[in-house]
Structure 1
Amino acid sequence: MSLSLPIAQTVDDCWNRIGVSGDRTCPELETHIHCRNCPVFSSAARSFFDRPAPSGYLAEWTKILAEPTVQTGTDDVSLLIFRLHGEWLALGTRAVAEVTTTRPVHRIPHRSNGVIDGLVNLRGQLQICISLHELLGVDPLSDDGKTQGRNGRTGDQPRLIVIQKDSETWAFPADEVPGIHRLPRGGLRNVPATLANPTTSFSQALFTWHGHSIGYLDDQRVFAALRSLGK
C-alpha cells in the first residue's frame, strides 16, 4: 500500500540528490561524512516534523503499519570504512554514533595507558578517548613509512569516530575516514585462520574496497575488550 495523501514539499531534499542517498557529489560530505551530521539535513528534519499532519494522514499510516512486512530480499551491510596507520578497517554503522573533527585529549591522572588516551569534549560532555590501534595491536608506521590514502595521496584529514552501545560511549582517532559503504553480504569473505594479522581476533570478515583488503570488525568483541579495561 502506498501513501496517497499529499504533503507539500517545502525543503530541498539534497540528501536524495547529491548526498548519501544520491550521487554523493555534495561538497559538504567531505566535512560531515554523512548527511545526518549536516545542519541542512537537521534543519529540514525539524521543519518536516514541526508541520501539522493533514486530515486522514495518521489514519492511513495506521493501516500501512498494520500490514505484513514485505521482504525485499536485500541483504546489504552498512559499514564505516576508516584507516588506522597502515591498516584499513570497517565497523557496522549501527555501532557508530558520530564522526567528527579531532580535538584535544585531556589526560586522566594515573589512568591513561597504552589504550586509554584520556578524555575528549563532545558537545559539552567528556567521553573516554582510546587508541584503537593499541587495542587491536596495529603497529604504528615507521618514520619513513607513509601510507597513502584511497586516492594515492598522503596527509588525509584525520577524524574522531564515536562508537556507542547501550550506555557505553567511546571515541578514537582515525587517520582517514572515506565514509560509509554498503556491501552485499555475499561480498564478505571469511577470515583465514592462518592470516598473520593482529586484527584478526577482532575481525568477523574481510572484503575488498578500492584495492584495499578491509577487516570488518566485530563490534561485540571490540566493546567487550573495551569493557575489560575497567576491570
Structure 2
Amino acid sequence: MRLYTLSKRHFVLVFVVFFICFGLTIFIGIAGPNVIKTTTTSELTNSSKLKSYPLNSQPLSTYNQQLWLTCVVELDPPYESRFKINITLSIKIHGVTKDASTRYKNNQVHNRTRQLNCARKCDEIIVAHLGYLNYTQYNILVSFEGLEKLMVPIMNINFTWKTYNPYFSQVEIWFRFVFVVLTFIVTCLFAHSLRKFSMRDWGIEQKWMSILLPLLLLYNGILKYALFYRVS
C-alpha cells in the first residue's frame, strides 16, 4: 500500500489537508443557509367543535425535497395542569400542477389518530408528511374530531409548513458535485497504482477500496441527483 511508504512530510501533509477540509465543511455548515424553511399560518376559532381548515402551501420545487405540515393548539386561557387527549385528523390532499390545474393526489380521506399533550400550550403534532413532491403546490383540507373533549376553549390553531430550504439543497448539490469529481480522481489514481499488480496480490484494504470507491461515486452522483431531477 502507498500509505506504508509515505515519508514523514507527506504523512503530515495528508493530515493537514484532512483537517483543512474538515474545518471548511464546519465553516460552511455554520455560515450556510438554514436546512429547514418554515411558514406559519394561524387559524382563529371560537369553539372546539369539528371544523375544517383549507390550507395552501407555498409554491414548491424539487429543491424543497419534502413537505411537512404541523399544528399547535393554543388554549384560552392557558391551563395550568397537564392533560392528554386523543384526537382524530381527517386529511385530504390535492396537488396543483404547473399550469395551475388541480389534480387529486389521492381521492380518499386519510384518518390519523394523534395524542394531544396540553398544558399552557399544546405540543406540536404532525398533520401530514410528504416524502417526495410531484406537484408545485399542495392544497390540504384538515378536519379535527375530538377537540370537544378539551377542558378549556381554543384560542387559535397554528399550522406550520416545513420544507427543505432550496438554497440548502443547491449547496448540497454543489458539495456532492465537488466530491464526485474528487472521488473520480481518487478512483482513477487508485486503479492506476494497482494496474501492475495481480488481484491475488491485493490486500484486504485494496479489495475493499475497489468496492467502496465506485459505490461512493454512485452515491454522490447519479443516485442523489435523480432525487432532484426525477420526472414527475
| TM-score, scaled to structure 1 | 0.20
- Whose radius of gyration is greater, 1 or 2? 2
Structure with larger RCO (C-alpha < 8 A, sep 6+): 2
Tell me the TM-score normalized by structure 2.
Answer: 0.20
